[in-house]
A and B are shown apart, each in its own frame.
Chain A
Amino acid sequence: MERIPILRMGNFLLVTIQVDMHDKLALTLQDDLTTRIAEVGAKGVLIDISSLEIVDSFIGRTLANIASMARVLDAETVVVGMQPAVAITLVELGMSLPGIRTALNVETGMEFLRQTVPDYRERDDDGDYTED
Chain B
Amino acid sequence: MSDLFAAIQQNRESVLEEWLTGVKAGSRKRGLIDKDLENQASEVLSLIAGAPAGTRLDDTSAPAWQTLNHLLASFSVSGANLGFSPSEVSLFVLSLKAPLFKLARQLNKNNTDELFAEVSRIDDFVDRLALHTADSYIEGRNQIIARQQQEMMELSTPVVTLWDGIVALPLIGTLDSNRTQIVMESLLDAIVQTNSRFAIIDITGVPTVDTLVAQHLLKTITAARLMGAECILSGIRPQIAQTIVHLGIDLADVVTKARLADALKLALERSGRMVVRTSKTGTQQATPREN
Interface residues of A (CB under 8 A from B): 79-84, 86-88, 90-92, 96-97, 100, 102-105, 108-109
Q: Is B227 an interface residue (CB 8 A)?
A: yes
* B184-226 to A contact mask, C-beta < 8 Å, 1/0: 1100110110011100000000000000000000010011111
Q: Which 4 pairs between the two chains have the least Cβ-Cβ distance?
A: A84-B188, A87-B223, A102-B228, A103-B228
Interface range, B side: 10 to 19
Pick from B184, B196, B226, B229 the residue with the most CB of A within 10 Å. B226
Known A-B contacts A84-B185, A88-B185; A96 and B227 likewise in contact (beta carbons under 8 Å): no
Known A-B contacts A84-B188, A88-B185; A104 and B227 likewise in contact (beta carbons under 8 Å): yes
- Say yes or no: A109 contacts B192, CB within 8 Å: no
Interface residues of B (CB under 8 A from A): 184-185, 188-189, 191-192, 195-197, 219, 222-229
The CA-CA distance from A107 to B227 in the complex, in Å, is 14
List the B side residues contacting A103 at CB < 8 Å.
228
- Say yes or no: B227 contacts A87, CB within 8 Å: yes
List the A side residues contacting B188 at CB < 8 Å.
84, 87-88
- Can you list 29 contacts pairing A with B, beta carbon distance less than 8 Å? A79-B226, A81-B228, A82-B226, A82-B227, A83-B192, A83-B227, A84-B185, A84-B191, A84-B227, A87-B224, A87-B226, A87-B227, A88-B223, A90-B223, A91-B219, A91-B222, A91-B223, A92-B219, A96-B222, A96-B225, A97-B226, A102-B225, A102-B226, A103-B228, A104-B191, A104-B196, A105-B195, A105-B228, A108-B197
